[in-house]
Structure 1
């Protein structure tokens, strides 16, 4: 096989990843319409509430998927900071443009925060991604140098810390670990490392039956749906008194 042909194979697009990106974009949009936009409504709205809440649950992992994709596709590539600059220019343009439109439409002036989209978290994902970008070379070195066992142990500890501990502490008045429900650099970085880990040891993940992944995913979504609809809205005291309503509806859950 010639070197030129091998290079062309390496440069070929992974259309599965492209499709996953498109699906994730749709999921993010649908989730925001249903939840932040209030489309899902309340239990008083009847069947529509439960159907739309089911859509929210299904779509809730879309943001994490974007971070996983970043780790998967960038773990073996050279970081080019020009891409980050280009991305910042795009975000700056839309941030300022939308703020100007908002002034004329609603009279609300938020132009100053719009001029500093990263520092003011106009778009939380971009703010987290912007700072994570500078750590990517170190993350990639970690993935390359660590053995499978060492990296797996690191990710398990990270999962326990960021997912289990950060959610369990909601039952108490004080927080030992605060990661803002996943809206920050730390959770995005963890997802990046998981995506990179999947890329490097893809054969290991392929050895597990697809039905196992589907079963785990469906079970998690079912539990999330049941808790955020029936158990909590039926006003069962033990759930309303001791467990926050968003216990399962955060990026780290």
Structure 2
């Protein structure tokens, strides 16, 4: 009965947001690392891929917002972090050895390094998440103790500074690749959870409009940056003002989604916990540099619409493969009692 009750109370919109976020991460890697996207070309086709990148760039932010939304009212357990660390090590080691096995190109040093992903910073998000995780007990107490108005003012100040001073890296956010940025997003996600009724008043069509508008503004800023020989990457940093607003709009939009289809519910319950491993496999340094790197350059020569279809199809196939791989990993862990 407890399991059924828990599933009935489950926020399936958040589950969907996790799926979409990790799909976006895969798409981002395919666009830039895969060789589809060129940083300086202003051709119509390349601009369309820039726009797709701008739509997908919010994936990491949304995933971090979800953490605050889900954990603000919970007790954290160090076992959860250790459990996640074992998965990180697994997906750091196994693909590395597998690719070497396929290519017959063995490198003992790379294999040894793959056993120490945290120490060597192989997965920036996991390293930053460890810092966030250790702060969560203090953050949760602070959130509960603070007056709602004061918390809102503090968060607005954080976001304003992060998207201005922080955007030029003088707030030491490292373009969002930092513990501090995940902490800010955690607080924002927690605030949304505590004020859900207020955010539900925002019309869904308005949220969609905001998402498209912010991605378009990013595109305009990127075009101007190229023409003026400025740093284009500022506009796709996780703490860009456009990316922040777009991330929040997308998160709020998905949070309100309700699902009644039992089959979809069962799929989400079973596979959503595996979505983080999509990032781990896709970002494995061997996969990233030797498998995905420049593998999709051929798409640039395709008609624009066909090219976009190919990017999304390849991303979907990779996403499904990675999910299934982690399902096999989960079965193996249960067999070996590593869960």
> How far apart in 1 are the matches of 2:39 and 2:176?
25
> How far apart in 1 are the matches of 2:76 and 2:8?
16
Give the aligned partner of residue 76 of structure 2: 79
Match of 2:59 among 56, 59, 62: 62
Unmatched 5+ stretches in structure 2: 241-339
> How far apart in 2 are the matches of 1:100 and 1:157?
46
Give the aligned partner of residue 91 of structure 2: 94
Give the aligned partner of residue 157 of structure 2: 157
Any idea what SS the aligned residue of 1:252 has? coil
Would the alpha carbon gap of residues 111 and 162 (structure 1) be closer, same or farther in structure 2, given more than 3 Å must change?
Answer: farther
CA-CA distance at 1:44 after TM superposition: 5.2
Any idea what SS the aligned residue of 1:164 has? coil
CA-CA distance at 1:140 after TM superposition: 1.1
Would the alpha carbon gap of residues 128 and 43 (structure 1) be closer, same or farther in structure 2, given more than 3 Å must change?
Answer: closer
Would the alpha carbon gap of residues 222 and 138 (structure 1) be closer, same or farther in structure 2, given more than 3 Å must change?
Answer: same
1:245 aligns with 2:238: no
Any idea what SS the aligned residue of 2:165 has? helix
> How far apart in 1 are the matches of 2:125 and 2:42?
32
Unmatched 5+ stretches in structure 1: none
> How far apart in 2 are the matches of 1:135 and 1:72?
15
Would the alpha carbon gap of residues 134 and 43 (structure 1) be closer, same or farther in structure 2, given more than 3 Å must change?
Answer: closer
Q: Superposition pairs for residues 146-185 of structure 1, below 5 Å? A: 146-167=146-167, 170=168, 176-185=170-179
Contact 2:225 2:231 in 1 (8 A): no
> How far apart in 2 are the matches of 1:187 and 1:202?
22
Give the aligned partner of residue 119 of structure 1: 119
The C-alpha deviation readout for 1:203-228, integer Å capped at 9, x for no partner, is 12123333443333222111111222
> How far apart in 2 are the matches of 1:227 and 1:90?
39
CA-CA distance at 1:112 after TM superposition: 3.9
Give the aligned partner of residue 22 of structure 2: 25
Superposed structure 1 runs of 4+ greater than 6 Å apart: none
CA-CA distance at 1:28 after TM superposition: 0.9
Give the aligned partner of residue 231 of structure 1: 224
Contact 1:113 1:122 in 2 (8 A): no
Q: Which segment drifts farther, 106-115 or 61-70? A: 106-115
1:213 aligns with 2:207: yes
Any idea what SS the aligned residue of 1:77 has? coil
Would the alpha carbon gap of residues 54 and 143 (structure 1) be closer, same or farther in structure 2, given more than 3 Å must change?
Answer: same
Would the alpha carbon gap of residues 136 and 216 (structure 1) be closer, same or farther in structure 2, given more than 3 Å must change?
Answer: same
TM-score normalised by structure 1 residue count: 0.84
Aligned residues: 236
The C-alpha deviation readout for 1:165-193, integer Å capped at 9, x for no partner, is 112xx3xxxx6422211111010111111
1:50 aligns with 2:59: no
Contact 2:129 2:179 in 1 (8 A): yes
Contact 1:79 1:136 in 2 (8 A): yes
Q: Which segment drifts farther, 77-86 or 190-199? A: 77-86
Q: What's the Cα RMSD here?
A: 2.3
